[in-house]
Amino acid sequence: AQTVTQSQPEMSVQEAETVTLSCTYDTSENNYYLFWYKQPPSRQMILVIRQEAYKQQNATENRFSVNFQKAAKSFSLKISDSQLGDTAMYFCAFISYGGSQGNLIFGKGTKLSVKP
Amino acid sequence: DTGVSQDPRHKITKRGQNVTFRCDPISEHNRLYWYRQTLGQGPEFLTYFQNEAQLEKSRLLSDRFSAERPKGSFSTLEIQRTEQGDSAMYLCASSLEGQGGEKLFFGSGTQLSVL
């Protein structure tokens, strides 16, 4: 069974600094997608970034980038120039390609606080 | 584009009562999902529709739960004879087939409290 582990329940960072959130996963699949979702106090889950496992190049979206290490099954999120609006729960998620549609497997989340 | 909308945002009910939630997906999306999220946990998959067909249900979806998506548009999730353990946030999401990698767009959820 696939699992997603986020080992940091809470983290904090000063505004404008950089923070890295960790995620590891376990799967026997070779083709899959990995995601980071953000859930602010408004509760709406917002897609931050997506990585296709067959792509070696790490995905980037503006201030957000990932470090995808397929052999180590590691998928960390780096937030540069942190902003107060980045304060939220961050969830790492996995889905196998061609597997059960919609069955995203989420980690337990990391609560990020950005301090002024 | 109004995004995925869910109604109500909050629902308080007494144990044993029935409740129904509604989800309106993004209009051109043909896939619709229901997830449940309890405190301190990530969302857990409940069920999934492609158009009006319910293609998958998780083991979490007991026989007290039923979901429908008539005409492939909005969806309803009904919980019969609610129990305190049903207290959670119920999230709906939608996606467009062919996007690849299941890029899901979520609503703001319905928070259910069973007293």
**pLDDT tens-digit series, residues A77-93:** 999 999 999 999 999 99
Task: State residue B93's pLDDT score.
Answer: 94
DSSP string, B49-82: EETTEEEEE-TT--TTEEEE-GGGS-EEEEESS-
pLDDT band at A108 (very low <50, low <70, confident <90, very high): very high
Beta bridge partners of B77: B21, B67
Model confidence pLDDT, tens digit, residues B50-101: 899 888 888 888 899 999 998 889 999 999 999 999 999 999 999 887 665 6
Smallest CA–CA distance, residue A82 to chain B, in Å, is 23
pLDDT in tens, A42-77: 888 999 999 999 888 999 999 999 999 999 999 999
Contact between A101 and B105 using a beta-carbon 8 Å cutoff: no
Structure tokens at B22: 């509604």
R_g of chain B, CA atoms, integer Å: 13
Report which of residues A48 and A1 the model is more confident about: A48
- Smallest CA–CA distance, residue A104 to chain B, in Å, is 7
pLDDT of residue A98: 64
B22 vs chain A: nearest CA distance in angstroms?
A: 16
- Report CA-CA distances (Å) from B112 to A2, B2, B76: 28, 23, 14
- What integer best gives the mean pLDDT of chain B? 91
Instruction: Give pLDDT, residue A96.
Output: 82
Q: Which residues of B touch A108 (CB under 8 A)?
A: 40-42
Whether the upstream peptide bond of residue B8 has omega within 30° of 0, thus cis, is yes
pLDDT of residue B99: 60
- Using the predicted structure, report yes or no on whether residue B108 has a pLDDT greater than 80: yes
What mean pLDDT do residues A2-13 have? 95
Q: Among B102, B108, B110, pick the best mutation site for testing chain A contact (most A Cβ within 10 A).
A: B102
Q: B82: which residues sit within 8 A by CB, 6+ positions away?
A: B13, B14, B15, B16, B17, B18, B19, B64, B112, B114
Which value, in Å, is the radius of gyration of the alpha carbons in chain A?
14
Alpha carbon distance A38, A110 (integer Å): 10
**pLDDT for A29 beyond 90:** no
Whole-angstrom distance, CA of residue B85 vs CA of residue A8: 26
Condensed to tens digits (0 to 9), the pLDDT of residues A8-19 reads 999 999 999 999
Is the pLDDT reported for residue B1 higher than 60? no
Six token digits for residue A23: 């995620």
Name every chain B residue with its beta carbon within 8 A of the beta carbon of A105.
Answer: 45
Residues A110/A21, Cβ–Cβ less than 8 Å: yes
Task: Give the pLDDT confidence score for residue A42 in this predicted structure.
Answer: 82
In this structure, of A23-32, A39-48, B51-60, B104-113, the range with the lowest mean pLDDT score is: B51-60
